[in-house]
Structure 1
Amino acid sequence: MGTSLTTEFWERFSVLLVLALAMTAILTAVFTALFDAFTARLRGRRPHRTTSRIPRPRVPHDRPTPVHH
């Protein structure tokens, strides 16, 4: 007993396929925008350090730098 796919099936299938593709595109755009905003906010809170964390001794500017021999 064979069954054939009717035109009603193909109409519903095509409508559901287009809806699934549209929802996928919309959700991808929304989550990408949210993720980009979240990572930008995180990077703004913790700036990348370019200097070392070792404190350097302060040298007064009114005296010349001592020279050791």
Structure 2
Amino acid sequence: MGTSLTTEFWERFSVLLVLALAMTAILTAVFTALFDTLTARLRGHRSHGTAPRVPHPRVRDDRRTPVHH
């Protein structure tokens, strides 16, 4: 017993597909913006609480390490 898909099915399917794609794009944009804002705030709070890093001065050592055989 085979059934064929009607034009009404394809119309509803295409409308629902377009709505699903639109909602996915909108929600992705919203959550990306919220995540970026949250990340920026967390980095901003963290940088105020710690002292800036001071690079460790490198000591130049021209001496060679002895090799024992």
Normalised to the residue count of structure 2, the TM-score between the two structures is: 0.70
- Mapping of residues 24-35 of structure 1, within 5 Å: 24-35=24-35
Q: Which runs of 5+ in 2 are unaligned?
A: 56-69
The Cα RMSD (Å) is: 1.5
Higher relative contact order (CA 8 A, sep 6+): 1
Q: How many residues align?
A: 52
Normalised to the residue count of structure 1, the TM-score between the two structures is: 0.70
Give the CA deviation at 1:51: 2.5
Q: After TM superposition, which residue ranges in structure 1, 4 or more long, deviate above 6 angstroms?
A: none
Q: Which runs of 5+ in 1 are unaligned?
A: 53-69
User: Identical aligned pairs, as a percentage?
Assistant: 83
Larger radius of gyration: 1
